[in-house]
Structure 1
Amino acid sequence: MIERSRSERSAAGVVPSVRPRKLAKVPFVELADGRLQGVVSSGSDIARVYVSSFAAGSHNYNCSTNNNRLCGGLRGAPCKHLRALADEAVLQYGLDRVTRYLKVEAGPDDDLVGLMSGVHESAPAAVVFSRFLRHLAYLELPVTTAPIAEMHWFPATEAVR
């Protein structure tokens, strides 16, 4: 077997979470499409989830159910789902990466959401929710060491050095 150098491999290393997260409240968080976005569980209904997002730069925010019903907690300011999303993003990616992405200056003791002065702006929930469901589907696959065709582009499990 020929050993390939790192630059010749078709997979990239996975960057681990900055700190472990509990996935029950915010099962999905990502920095994508110019937004910090994710899926946040409802505090009152186990069957309901919210798709929440902050736009990078403008800091405009949105929170709605997966079928685009506006969150009742949006009353001229970010709701508790948006705050939970921001908190989990900092755990997942680290404060520096999140603040750089959102283009906001915040220190470790600052209220990140309080420093953003955006307003409510509708954002589609379907794309984010669809990616979340796709991630859940991978959890249901049987354990195997054989390659999975649709995941051939996923990063290798080797940690980045």
Structure 2
Amino acid sequence: MSNEDADDLAWERSAVVRVTPSAKARKLAKVPFVEMADGRLQGVVSSGSDIARVYVSSIAAETHSFSCSTNNNRPCGGLTGGSMCKHLQALVAEAALQYGNERVAQFLGIEGDDLSAGLRDGTKESAPAAVVFNRFLRHLAYLELPAVTTPLPEMQWFPAGAVG
């Protein structure tokens, strides 16, 4: 058995998950949360004009239908019929930094890796913002926990580092 096969077996038997590093460093002030989940590229985008307001933006895989609303489910004023608002554009740009163009394009079902060209066929549709915003708040809550060395039961799924 090769070392590579032994490493793969060690990962399969461990209680940790491999973490894919960010493609490039991100600045979290504009888009503090981005994920590819539930068949959507989705995340939380800060308002450019009001520090207390955030937008939940999403783009559906395959259909490329898009949605953007405040955390209070008020529609984004910049979202018009067939064009994406600046919040959605920021979400796509940060997703490309986090996951890489190729991976985001593959997830959304875009040929090649030109995300802006591949997303021109989407239409506006309403999508639930509460689930995405709730996940974002849960991530923020973990940042407020005190630094301890004892295990946290609700964090057992979280990657613990390399198994060696």
- Relative to the length of structure 2, the TM-score reads 0.89
Higher helix share: 2
- Structure 2 distance, partners of 1:128, 1:113, is 23
- Structure 2 distance, partners of 1:40, 1:12, is 27
- Structure 2 distance, partners of 1:19, 1:30, is 15
* AA at the equivalent of 1:12: V
2:83 matched to 1:96? no
Following superposition, the deviation at residue 151 of structure 1 comes to 0.5
2:23 matched to 1:11? no
* AA at the equivalent of 2:118: L
Instruction: Give yes or no for contact 2:16–2:160 (8 Å, CA) kept in 1.
Output: yes
Alignment size in residue pairs: 153
Moved over 3 A (4+): none
Deviations 1:39-94 (A, max 9, x none): 00000000000000000000000000011100000122100000000000000000
* AA at the equivalent of 1:84: A
Show structure 2 runs of 5+ residues with no match.
Answer: 1-8
* AA at the equivalent of 1:121: E
- Structure 2 distance, partners of 1:145, 1:92, is 28
Instruction: Give yes or no for contact 1:61–1:119 (8 Å, CA) kept in 2.
Output: yes
* AA at the equivalent of 1:80: K
Instruction: Give yes or no for contact 1:14–1:156 (8 Å, CA) kept in 2.
Output: no
Deviations 1:127-153 (A, max 9, x none): 000000000000000011211110111
Instruction: Give yes or no for contact 2:39–2:61 (8 Å, CA) kept in 1.
Output: yes
Instruction: Give yes or no for contact 1:17–1:93 (8 Å, CA) kept in 2.
Output: yes
- Structure 1 distance, partners of 2:138, 2:117, is 32
- Relative to the length of structure 1, the TM-score reads 0.90
- Structure 1 distance, partners of 2:142, 2:135, is 11
* AA at the equivalent of 2:161: T
Following superposition, the deviation at residue 113 of structure 1 comes to 3.0
Q: Percent identity?
A: 64
- Structure 2 distance, partners of 1:157, 1:28, is 22
Looking at both structures, which has the greater relative contact order when contacts are Cα pairs under 8 Å and sequence separation is at least 6? Answer: 1
Secondary structure, counterpart of 2:23 in structure 1 = coil
2:29 matched to 1:24? yes
